[in-house]
């Protein structure tokens, strides 16, 4: 199927052709026709499946069919997204899709001064891309009104839940018009998100592609069993072996991301970190350098990574395994996009992260092959089991039963004798117990 068969107009088709969009992705193929018909859509699709075009193209086409506003532009479409990076990415995409039309779009998010954003909104806008916190803030200040809203898009709904934005969304739903078209997208569908979708959508069409339990077949996945203290050495070696490959490294915490970045710079590897504590300017600079290839190594937390869209990202490394298996799928989905091959490597400390690894393998329905390395003890280098399953963690502690495992140079009972002898030397002679019976029987009390 082609984009022309989806019902898109000539203006949009010309833009897509110039941008080398040749064939719609499954989520675009299923969503666009229903969205053009004005139906609510519940889309379940993970990152990198083409969701942005799936909801943006129909909205742009419908706004193009309206007469251009000669005065103040009332907000017709609101796209709500959890992170600054994803909001900026969606804005950049819509700017391309709406090229040559009268449509105006704006993006607002926290972490930067609001002055430039409010100035841009002075005369209104057609499409507003926003994060929840900044949106509600500017609404409370009287800069934004949503009385004329026609289209509402909620993107990455499950991440909204993870970040604690659900109450903000519920507050927003009490404000925006009920007579609207809603497009709802989420990579996963936990119970709370399902209930939210039920309240937001009216007779929705459900589209689902690339279930979260499956990962792209073109992505090669491997795991290293490595002690936490040796992860840095292994990471440095892998990066030095292929210095020209762009690598996205995932850390569980913001502090961890900074620590990894600092250690890599000490090893003369240029790297930058992005997370919630970084300024928006710093994050945007790091992302731009990473996309253009000037920066080869980017360290990110899961929340900050939403919005990272690099078409030819060669490698993803999970420095820490995520707490939830679905997050693993989202992480490795950053590589292997646009038909290119991808590689996902994971570091697993057997003493601390085996439960996470088992959960991941259960979700994706297969065992992740284990690779060996030169760092750490032999205990960290498990033998491959049948089916490339990671070997069960084993302990390097010696058994308590020394009779069954005698010392290689002595009999089984001699180490115990030596041990008892040493104990006696440390403690000194046992106390003498003098009794009447000992004296009468002439017992040598020194031996008692």
Residue 418 has pLDDT above 70, yes or no: no
**The predicted structure's pLDDT at residue 213:** 56
Cα pseudo-dihedral 283, 285, 289, 291, rounded to 10: 60
Q: What is the pLDDT of residues 146-161, one digit of tens each?
A: 999 999 999 999 888 8
CA angle 297, 303, 305 (to 5 degrees): 30
Residue 319 has pLDDT above 90, yes or no: yes
Residue 417 CB contacts under 8 Å (≥ 6 apart), including other chains = none
Taking the whole predicted model, whether its pTM rises above 0.75 is answered as no
- List the structure tokens of 406: 């005698």
Report d(CA 104, CA 192) in Å as an integer. 34
Higher pLDDT, 387 or 114: 114
Q: What is the pLDDT of residues 245-291, one digit of tens each?
A: 999 999 999 999 999 999 999 999 999 998 878 877 888 888 889 98
Residue 309 has pLDDT above 90, yes or no: no
8 Å CB contact between 313 and 334: yes
What integer best gives the mean pLDDT of the chain?
Answer: 82
| For range 125-139, the mean pLDDT | 96
Q: What is the pLDDT of residues 322-377, one digit of tens each?
A: 988 878 888 888 887 655 678 999 999 999 999 999 999 988 888 999 999 888 65
Predicted confidence band of residue 292 (pLDDT cuts 50, 70, 90): confident
**The predicted structure's pLDDT at residue 212:** 54
CA angle 84, 86, 140 (to 5 degrees): 45
**The predicted structure's pLDDT at residue 306:** 62
**The predicted structure's pLDDT at residue 441:** 43
Q: What is the pLDDT of residues 363-384, one digit of tens each?
A: 888 899 999 988 865 545 555 4
Q: Which domains does the chain have, with CATH numbers?
A: 4-208 (3.40.50.300), 219-380 (3.40.50.300), 414-447 (no CATH)
**The predicted structure's pLDDT at residue 281:** 80
List the 315-318 sheet strands across, edge first: 271-274, 297-300, 247-250, 315-318, 342-348, 219-225, 370-371
Predicted confidence band of residue 305 (pLDDT cuts 50, 70, 90): low
List the 77-80 sheet strands across, edge first: 105-108, 127-130, 77-80, 151-154, 181-186, 41-44, 205-208
- List the structure tokens of 28: 């675009």
Residue 425 has pLDDT above 50, yes or no: no
Q: How many CB atoms lie within 10 A of CB 144?
A: 23
| For range 81-98, the mean pLDDT | 92
Higher pLDDT, 305 or 123: 123
Residue 198 backbone dihedrals phi, psi, to 5 degrees: -60, -35
8 Å CB contact between 372 and 380: no
């Amino acid at each position: 199927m082609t984009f022309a068969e989806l019902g898109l107009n000539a203006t949009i088709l010309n833009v897509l052709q110039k941008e080398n969009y040749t064939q719609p992705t499954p989520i675009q193929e299923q969503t666009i026709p229903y969205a053009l018909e004005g139906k609510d859509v519940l889309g379940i699709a993970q990152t990198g499946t083409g969701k942005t075009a799936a909801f943006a193209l129909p909205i742009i086409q419908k706004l193009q069919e309206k007469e251009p506003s000669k005065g103040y532009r009332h907000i017709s479409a609101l796209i709500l997204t959890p992170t600054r990076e994803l909001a900026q990415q969606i804005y950049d995409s819509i700017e391309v899709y709406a090229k040559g039309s009268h449509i105006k779009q704006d993006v607002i998010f926290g972490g930067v001064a609001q002055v430039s954003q409010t100035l841009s909104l002075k005369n209104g806008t057609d499409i507003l891309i926003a994060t929840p916190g900044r949106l509600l803030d500017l609404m409370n200040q009287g800069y934004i009104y949503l009385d004329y809203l026609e289209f509402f898009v909620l993107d990455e709904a499950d991440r909204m839940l993870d970040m604690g934005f659900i109450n903000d969304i519920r507050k927003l739903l009490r404000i925006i018009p009920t007579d609207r078209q809603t497009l709802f997208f989420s990579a996963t569908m936990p119970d709370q998100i399902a209930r939210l979708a039920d309240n937001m959508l009216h007779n929705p069409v459900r589209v689902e592609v690339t279930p979260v339990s499956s990962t792209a077949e073109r992505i090669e996945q491997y795991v290293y069993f490595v002690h936490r203290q040796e992860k840095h050495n292994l990471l440095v070696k892998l990066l030095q072996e292929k210095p020209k490959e762009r690598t996205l490294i995932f850390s569980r915490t913001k502090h961890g991301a900074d620590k990894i970045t600092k250690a890599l710079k000490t090893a003369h590897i240029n790297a930058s970190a992005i997370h919630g504590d970084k300024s928006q300017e710093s994050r945007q600079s790091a992302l731009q350098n990473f996309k253009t290839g000037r920066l080869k190594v980017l360290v990110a937390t899961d929340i900050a990574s939403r919005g990272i869209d690099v078409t030819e990202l060669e490698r993803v490394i999970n420095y820490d395994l995520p707490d939830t298996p679905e997050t693993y799928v989202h992480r490795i989905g950053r590589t292997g996009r646009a038909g290119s091959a991808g590689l996902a490597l994971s570091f697993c400390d057997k003493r601390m992260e085996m439960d996470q690894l088992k959960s991941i393998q259960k979700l994706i329905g297969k065992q992740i092959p284990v690779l060996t390395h030169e760092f750490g003890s032999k205990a960290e280098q498990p033998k491959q089991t049948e089916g490339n399953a990671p070997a069960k963690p084993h302990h390097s502690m010696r058994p308590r039963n020394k009779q069954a495992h005698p010392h290689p140079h002595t009999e089984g009972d001699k180490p115990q004798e030596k041990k008892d002898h040493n104990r006696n030397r440390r403690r000194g002679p046992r106390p003498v117990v003098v009794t009447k019976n000992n004296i009468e029987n002439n017992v040598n009390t020194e031996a008692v």
